[in-house]
Structure 1
Amino acid sequence: MTIAGSIILIMLGAILTWAVEFTLAGLDIQVIGVILMVGGLAGLLFGLYRLSAVRRASTTVTPVAPVDEVHTTQRRVYEERHYNDPI
């Protein structure tokens, strides 16, 4: 579930919970709205976690040998990006 899909579920659940006035026999619209909001919130948290985990895993820091007699070190940072979309 994408972040946009999660936000849409949260908005749809909020509309069903607080803005809809009609009732259906054997079906509580407000409960369905709350379920959609909780599911959207869970999807949003999972999407944000996944996004941060991918960004955190793609950066690699490697130390480099000293350059001169002062023994200063340089660090080179390589950023690898992996795209999972098919061509």
Structure 2
Amino acid sequence: MTIAGGIILIMLGAILTWAVEFDIAGFDINVVGVILMIGGLAWLLFAVYRLSLARRAVADSAATAVIDDDPVVQRRVYEERRYNDPPVV
């Protein structure tokens, strides 16, 4: 379930809605295209939501560390780097 899957469904629905001029008795291609576009939009929004949750979970777990197996006491570790390169002349 990726962002690309949602975009592909939206594109396929748009093609069926506006580019296809084909009629089948009892079957409306335009309605199928609109349904695919709505489904693709829902899929896309859900994929972006899952991606943001995963990134937030990784960032939260990397930022905190548990001390002495006590889940209440936490610390944040910041890393600072200093580069002592000579100036470019």
Give me the TM-score of the superposition, normalised by structure 2: 0.68
Which runs of structure 1 show a deviation greater than 4 angstroms over 4 or more consecutive aligned residues?
Answer: none
User: Offset at 1:2?
Assistant: 1.4
Unaligned runs of 5+ in 2: 66-74, 79-89
Q: Which residue of 1 aligns with 2:52?
A: 52
Larger Rg: 2
Provide Cα deviations, 1:49-79, integer angstroms capped at 9, x if missing partner.
Answer: 000000001113348xxxxxxxxxx9415xx
**1:27 maps to 2:53:** no
Distance in 1, matches of 2:54 and 2:48, equals: 10
Measured on the aligned residues, the alpha-carbon RMSD in Å equals 1.8
TM-score, with length taken from structure 1: 0.70
One-letter identity of the residue aligned with 2:10: I
Structure 1 alignment gaps of length 5 or more: 64-73, 78-87
Q: Which residue of 2 aligns with 1:16?
A: 16
Instruction: Give the Cα separation in 2 of the matches to 1:62 and 1:40.
Output: 37
SS in 1 for 2:77: strand
